[in-house]
Structure 1
Amino acid sequence: MTLLQTRPIQTERNLALAGEVTFQYPGQPAHKPEEGAYYRPYIREVPVIREIESCLDVLNMFAKDDRVPCVVYCDEHDQPTGLIMRDVFYQRMMGRFAVDLYYSKPAFQFADQQFMKIDIFEKVGTLLNLALQRSDSKFYDCVLLTSAGRLEGILTVRDLMSLSNVLQGEAEEKRELILQESYRHTGNIQHSLTEVRSAAAKTSSECIRMRQWSQTGKAKLDLVQTSYLGLVEDMTKREGQAFELVSDASQILSITGKITELANQSSLLAMNASIEAAHAGVHGRGFQVVAAEVQSLAKQTHELSGNISKLLEHIRRLAEDTAKGAVSSLKELRACEGFVMEGARMFHEMENAVQEVQKSGNQVHHLAEETGRRVDRVKDDLAGINSAKQQPFEDESTL
């Protein structure tokens, strides 16, 4: 027979101080506990019997230490094959003829072979679920923990409740941490939404200003376009007038040329008349005076015609330069026509774009307000959950 001492039950505070159970606090990284670490503080070492121990020996074990809830029957490989619970064994051994019938018999014959056994590396949640699924007749039996098939110890129902409380405490702490983080994140979201609403409102006001500017610019550009079209029309007219002036100056030059030719012919005729008057002697003197006056008039006409020709030639050159300048200016103006039209189109598109941006900004503003209201409701719900969580609840560890 191997008799092992039963470990005292450790409290949750002792577990935390011993480092067996780890908790995650705000600002600290989560640490996964070592496999089986949850069980080890609760494992109870109980007596192990072999085939040689009798029922009386087991009764003496129970009588010697009232903290022993059970004994475990193990085979030659130290693998548990039977469980003897204290209360069940006492009921069987307290009969009227139990001393004669049972005390000398091997105790392993009365061991329950349908016991709950679980590996020490199994998850706590799995253990608790399996333990809760047991029938009423076996609900308060001890649970055997093994490692590689060999017995490590047992867990009582109180130990299972303590484990459940530890898990519940950790879950509550994680839940509280999640609530705190969620509340903080919702606060950040609320702050961001406030900035989004402010930015959306500012965008809307700026869009109104840009729309006013674009409308003003478009109106001014329309005036420029109207003035431009009038200027083009005027320059086109002046171009035609300049070419007409050049044509008229050329015609006048042609006429002055004919006048000069007539003056030369008149001068020649006057000279011939003077010669003929000289031949006539006294009778031709009067005619000679007339011929001299005609010759003088022809000379003056020739001089005036030359001056007019020079002046008209100067006017013609100026008119040609004016016509060329008008043509060049008209080409430049017509080249600018595309820019004016493009500017008008861009102002129109900018006005449409500003309207779309303003519409989008208003939608963002409304969505941000609606989301902000929903975040407020979420924060209120989180605060309500947190306050409800802090209310006292029944301690199930007394079961």
Structure 2
Amino acid sequence: MVKQAIAVLESSTDKETKSGTASGEAGEIHRAASVRYEERSNGGQAGAGSKVITTVEARSFCRKVPVIGPEVPCRQVMGQFQRQPELPCIVVCDDDHIPLGLLMRDRFFRHMAGRFAADLFYEVAIFQFAEQQPLICEGDTPAGELLDLALGREGTSFYDGLILTDQGKYYGILTIQDLMQMSRELQREADEARQAAVRDSRDRIVEIEYSMGDVAESAKRSWQELEQMNALSLEGRQELEAVKASFTRVLEMARFQEKQMAKLLEQMQQISSVADHIRRLADQSGMLAMNASIEAAHAGEHGRGFAVVASEVRKLALQTKRFSEEISETLGAVNHFIQQTAATATSTVEEMAESHERVVNADGTFQSLVESARVAEQRSQEMFRSSEMAAERTRIVLMELQHLTSLS
């Protein structure tokens, strides 16, 4: 019966009082919600990945309100509210001081404002009119989390106070005004943290600007040095091309000399063969002269003149043989020297061919070096331009941060 009567009175009295009382508080509550939302947004901008440590504690904002038992009659509670006009609510606790419910002043007075409320409810236990599922949090709960929980409530409970406990026992109450004040304090800390982050970012950007200037200067020097190295590489390759051309000509001359020495050796062999042939002819002439002398001796007086001729022919044959032997010895020595020279020429050609191949390989390596120097010069130039652009953008960011610092 009591609950049915309460429902009837709520339907009649809410229409008269709710529009006037709740409308003023609603604006304050939603402003508190907007403050909390702004705090979240600004906190998110303070620094990616950084966790803001706040010094705001909910206990420092809570207030003490009277505590009553669940069986206290409504008349006694009405008298207490009338004696303390500033009292926003009363907490209902059991004997162990554990919160059971919350009785908000405005809602209680709306219940008691009916024509028959005094007769019906003054002796009824107050627990019937209390919010039996109030928002209860431990006192060490972070302030931001408390605001999230309070602003997440719906319906008429959105305007209720928040009960703080200490190890489950009643500690104090946070009204909407207290939550708003706590939110403003959080907002102030967030603003200070944001300003500190902006100043820190500005200082870091200044350091980055100096570093980018050093990088740009270093890139410029590297570009100039690589440009000079590229020019020297091109000049060196031109010199190497000249050396390669000289080696090519020398190699061709050495190969020509090798061929000439081979031909000379062949001719010397032919001359040696002719000398051998002359020596054999001299031997035959000597044999013929000796036979002629023998025949002249057999002829006696008639062959004396022929014997003289045969003797002279024999002397001439001996001289011819001696000369041919000397020629053969000389040709042998010359042939030996020619063979050594030919072997040296062949070895020289081989060495020149290897040297020419090394020069060709060095030319290819130098060509790669020139190409690498050219690419390095281009990349160094690009790095210099990129570092200049980065330095310019850093200066723009620094100017914006300085402007933001001056505004804050």
TM-score band by shorter chain is 0.7 to 0.9
Give the secondary-structure state (helix, strand or coil) at the position aligned to 1:312.
helix
Change (3 A) 1:73 1:255: closer
Give the secondary-structure state (helix, strand or coil) at the position aligned to 2:57.
coil
Deviation readout 1:61-120 (Å, 9 max, x if unpaired): 764x676444334456742424243x787899999x99x879975683895639963423
Instruction: Find 1:249's aligned residue among 256, 259, 268.
Output: 268
Which structure's relative contact order is higher, taking Cα pairs within 8 Å and 6+ residues apart? 2
Instruction: Find 1:212's aligned residue among 231, 240, 262.
Output: 231
In 2, Cα distance between equivalents of 1:247 and 1:296 = 33
Structure 1 contact 82–108 (Cα < 8 Å) conserved: no
In 1, Cα distance between equivalents of 2:289 and 2:386 = 108
Give the secondary-structure state (helix, strand or coil) at the position aligned to 2:275.
helix
Instruction: Find 1:117's aligned residue among 114, 129, 135.
Output: 135
Change (3 A) 1:91 1:309: closer
Give the secondary-structure state (helix, strand or coil) at the position aligned to 2:280.
helix
Give the secondary-structure state (helix, strand or coil) at the position aligned to 1:154.
strand
1:108 aligns with 2:126: yes
In 1, Cα distance between equivalents of 2:321 and 2:299 = 29
Aligned to 1:185: 204
Deviation readout 1:244-296 (Å, 9 max, x if unpaired): 11111111111112222333344444455556666777776666655554444
Structure 1 contact 93–102 (Cα < 8 Å) conserved: no
* Structure 1: gaps spanning 5 or more residues: 1-28, 390-399
Instruction: Find 1:42's aligned residue among 51, 61, 83.
Output: 61
% same residue: 32
Give the secondary-structure state (helix, strand or coil) at the position aligned to 1:145.
strand
Aligned to 2:374: 355
Name whichever of 150-159 and 73-82 sits farther off: 73-82
Aligned to 2:101: 81
1:161 aligns with 2:184: no
Q: How does 1:145-294 map to 2 (within 5 A)?
A: 145-146=164-165, 150-271=169-290, 290-294=309-313
Change (3 A) 1:107 1:387: farther
Aligned residues: 356
Aligned to 1:302: 321
1:312 aligns with 2:331: yes
Structure 2 contact 212–391 (Cα < 8 Å) conserved: yes
Name whichever of 269-278 and 232-241 sits farther off: 269-278
| Letter in structure 2 aligned against 1:172 | D
Cα deviation for residue 144 of structure 1 reads 3.1
TM-score, scaled relative to structure 1:
0.73
Structure 2 contact 68–92 (Cα < 8 Å) conserved: yes
In 2, Cα distance between equivalents of 1:39 and 1:364 = 54
Note the aligned Cα RMSD (angstroms): 4.0
In 1, Cα distance between equivalents of 2:187 and 2:102 = 32
Aligned to 2:359: 340
Change (3 A) 1:380 1:114: farther
Structure 1 contact 117–146 (Cα < 8 Å) conserved: no
Change (3 A) 1:114 1:366: farther
TM-score, scaled relative to structure 2:
0.72
Deviation readout 1:355-387 (Å, 9 max, x if unpaired): 111111111111111111111111111112222
Structure with higher helix content: 2
Give the secondary-structure state (helix, strand or coil) at the position aligned to 1:52.
coil
1:324 aligns with 2:371: no
In 1, Cα distance between equivalents of 2:104 and 2:277 = 154
Change (3 A) 1:306 1:111: same
1:383 aligns with 2:395: no
Aligned to 1:10: none
Structure 2 contact 92–127 (Cα < 8 Å) conserved: no
In 1, Cα distance between equivalents of 2:289 and 2:130 = 170
Deviation readout 1:170-194 (Å, 9 max, x if unpaired): 2123212322332233233323322
Structure 2 contact 227–377 (Cα < 8 Å) conserved: yes
Change (3 A) 1:242 1:94: closer
